[in-house]
Amino acid sequence: MRLLKEKAGRTVMFILTVLPTLLLVLMFFGLFRKSRAILALKSFGGLLFSSGWHPLRGEFGLFPFLIGTLWVTAVALVIAVPISLLMAVYLSEYAPRGFRDFAKPLIDLLSGIPSVIFGVWGVLVIVPLVGRIAPLFGRYSSGYSVLAGGIVLAVMIFPTIIHVALEVFSAIPFPLREASLSLGATRWETTRHVVLRKGSQGIIAACVLGLSRALGETMAVLMVVGNVPAAPKSVFDAGYPLPALIANNYGEILSVPLYDSALMLAALVLFIVVQTFNILARWFLVRAERRAE
Amino acid sequence: MNKRRLVERFWKALMIASTAVVIGCLLFIVVTVIWKGLPALSLSMITRIPKGGYYLGKEGGILNAILGSLYLALGATALACVLSLPVVIFLNVYCRKRSRLAELTRFSFDVLWGIPSIVYGAFGFVLMVYFGMRTSLLAGIVTVALLEVPIMSRAIDEVIKLVPRELKEASYSLGATRLETSLKVIIRQCLPGILTGILIAFGRGIGDAASVLFTAGFTDRIPTSLGQPAATLPLAIFFQLGTPFPEVRQRAYASAAILTILILFISVLARVLSRRYTKHVIR
């Protein structure tokens, strides 16, 4: 009886274990199946690089949305990468233990805040701020812009980058640091020549993971970025990233022909791009691990 | 020598500034949202459902969204638990140390964890259409559960990995099967960690908007069965903020404050629980 239970349990668990991998495959094919309807009519390249978005006339160019995504993500990375890396270095190399134990839960908390809350904060604080600083650069902006989206996104990906970077730094053996310090190097010199060099692969992985988080973030960006379907020319212009496009049009999804197919294609593109970056990051992490050993 | 010390000072100052920025942002967000929301918060907001014309500034509250979110997140978390606990146990108890299957599954979890919630939403929509369902609580629960599985599994996996081998071997040597060992020894040993993992996933589920946008729908009523659409708190915030009326926007701030307080409460609870339920843990 007990052995029977053991066998049954084992089989059930084994079946469930195959599920996550299967889910990945299923997701790809599900989205692909849905987007076939539009791919049958137009070429993939043509859809990606044409810029006309007129669903009622049957034009579904994804180009402005791709550019919008790139802009917002680039702004977010420019802000988030240096700040989060500096904080990670501070926490792992400089900060006293007590402060580290105090700061880590706060970072977890920041990563737990729902994206809608980030959006509300963006609308309340960042959007007016951007509206006010735009004239300083001789431009008018309503505040709902790529810059606002980038700033909000940057805050959202802080925890991701910090978390991974901290893990990478903590994997670097202490004797290496001690060797450097005993040669008379200052803390910063040790950090730069030992910690950062040894952890370089891991740091790249952290940034790539932050990047893929940023690419897919939806609600917060949607709320502050302005949503004008044209490629932005400066950071003060409104943009319209890909996830925002998908989220914003769910209402009309079944009323216009091919619309759902076009949106599923957008989701598929997002899926593939994010996936590529994720796998890339994992690869860097594995290499980093091997290097640290 | 002087220059080196100057460089040292410079970078240290920059690091402290960055740390201040990150922690400052967190405080800034929480304080702004609660500060803006509290004045608009009233008892009727959280005890009543929207009356006609609520989104034009008329009477009512967002009880439908609060309850809808709780139902959705509870259902999804329960489902995700059922799906992810056995997997994690299988990975740690049944698989050999460097087995292909375990590595592939962990890799899949990592990759799934990185997929944006809007893609889960789109996938949920595809599933929904495939099975001929309409937007409903059930569709929302399934989608959010899929979203929660990798988060929960990764968190629990980290804890179960740390179970000492001697503990397992002690159990085996008493004649327990692997299943009995898992259920009676490992789960008990890891209970605090498992609870924390579940609560993290629950918090993620309750706060996620993009995945339920397609699948759970939105309604002014409180759902009474799995087949009905359900409103969710994040979407309620989003829709209220989208209206041009100042009173309704005020309510969006109030709803945001409710959600923030809920999330803060959950993460404090996770911490307290993980401290308290350590009585069965053998160190």
Of A30, A89, A188, the CB nearest to B7: A188
CATH of A64-292 among 3.40.50.300, 1.10.3210.10, 1.10.3720.10, 3.90.1530.10: 1.10.3720.10
Closest by CA to B261, choosing from B50, B65, B60, B35, is B35
Q: Which residue has the higher pLDDT, B134 or B173?
A: B173
Residue in chain A closest to B4 (alpha carbons) equals A186
- Chain A residues within 8 A of B28 when measuring between CB atoms: 121, 125
- Chain B residues within 8 A of A271 when measuring between CB atoms: 115, 119
The SS3 of residue A195 is helix
pLDDT in tens, A218-262: 788 888 887 777 777 777 777 788 888 888 776 666 666 677 788
CA distance B26 to chain A (A): 6
Residue ranges per structural domain of chain B:
2-40, 45-276
Q: Say if A79 is an interface residue toward chain B (CB within 8 Å).
A: no
- Chain B residues within 8 A of A278 when measuring between CB atoms: 110-111, 114-115
pLDDT in tens, B86-116: 888 888 888 777 778 888 888 888 888 888 8
pLDDT in tens, B218-248: 777 777 777 787 888 888 888 888 777 877 8
Of B26, B116, B200, the CB nearest to A218: B116
3-state secondary structure chain B: CHHHHHHHHHHHHHHHHHHHHHHHHHHHHHHHHHHHHHHHCCHHHHHCCCCCCHHHCCCCCCHHHHHHHHHHHHHHHHHHHHHHHHHHHHHHHHCCCCCHHHHHHHHHHHHHHHCCHHHHHHHHHHHHHHCCCCCCHHHHHHHHHHHHHHHHHHHHHHHHCCCCHHHHHHHHHCCCCHHHHHHHHHHHHHHHHHHHHHHHHHHHHHHCCHHHHHHCCCCCCCCCCCCCCCCCHHHHHHHHHCCCCHHHHHHHHHHHHHHHHHHHHHHHHHHHHHHHCCCCCCC
pLDDT in tens, A253-292: 666 667 778 888 888 888 888 888 888 888 888 887 776 6
Residue B279 has pLDDT above 60, yes or no: no
Of B89, B104, B253, the CB nearest to A120: B253
A271 with B119: CB under 8 angstroms?
yes
Residue in chain B closest to A95 (alpha carbons) equals B16
Q: Which residue has the higher pLDDT, B280 or B14?
A: B14
pLDDT in tens, A46-62: 777 776 777 666 677 77
Q: Say if A110 is an interface residue toward chain B (CB within 8 Å).
A: yes
Least confident of A42-46, A120-124, B156-160, B166-170: A42-46
Residue in chain B closest to A286 (alpha carbons) equals B107
The SS3 of residue A54 is strand
- ipTM for the predicted complex: 0.86
Q: Token digits for B71?
A: 């139902």
CATH code of domain B45-276: 1.10.3720.10
Average model confidence (pLDDT) across chain A: 83
Q: In the predicted model, what is the mean pLDDT of residues B28-50?
A: 80
Residue in chain A closest to B261 (alpha carbons) equals A113
Report CB contact under 8 Å: A110, B122. Answer: no
Least confident of A150-159, A172-181, B274-283: B274-283
Of A9, A34, A118, the CB nearest to B29: A118
Report CB contact under 8 Å: B90, A13. Answer: yes
Residue A56's pLDDT is 64
B128 with B53: CB under 8 angstroms?
no
Residue B14's pLDDT is 92
Q: How far apart are CA B29 and CA A38, in angstroms?
A: 42
- Chain B residues within 8 A of A87 when measuring between CB atoms: 15, 18-19, 21-22
Residue ranges per structural domain of chain A:
64-292
Residue tagged 């609060």 (tokens): B66
Q: Per-residue confidence at B23, pLDDT binned at 50, 70, 90? A: very high
Of A30, A218, A281, the CB nearest to B118: A218
Report CB contact under 8 Å: B210, A115. Answer: yes
Q: Token digits for B82?
A: 């059922």
Residue B250 has pLDDT above 80, yes or no: yes
Q: Which residue has the higher pLDDT, B164 or B33?
A: B33
- Chain B residues within 8 A of A30 when measuring between CB atoms: 123, 126-127, 130
Residue in chain A closest to B257 (alpha carbons) equals A117
CA distance B268 to chain A (A): 9
Q: Say if A117 is an interface residue toward chain B (CB within 8 Å).
A: yes
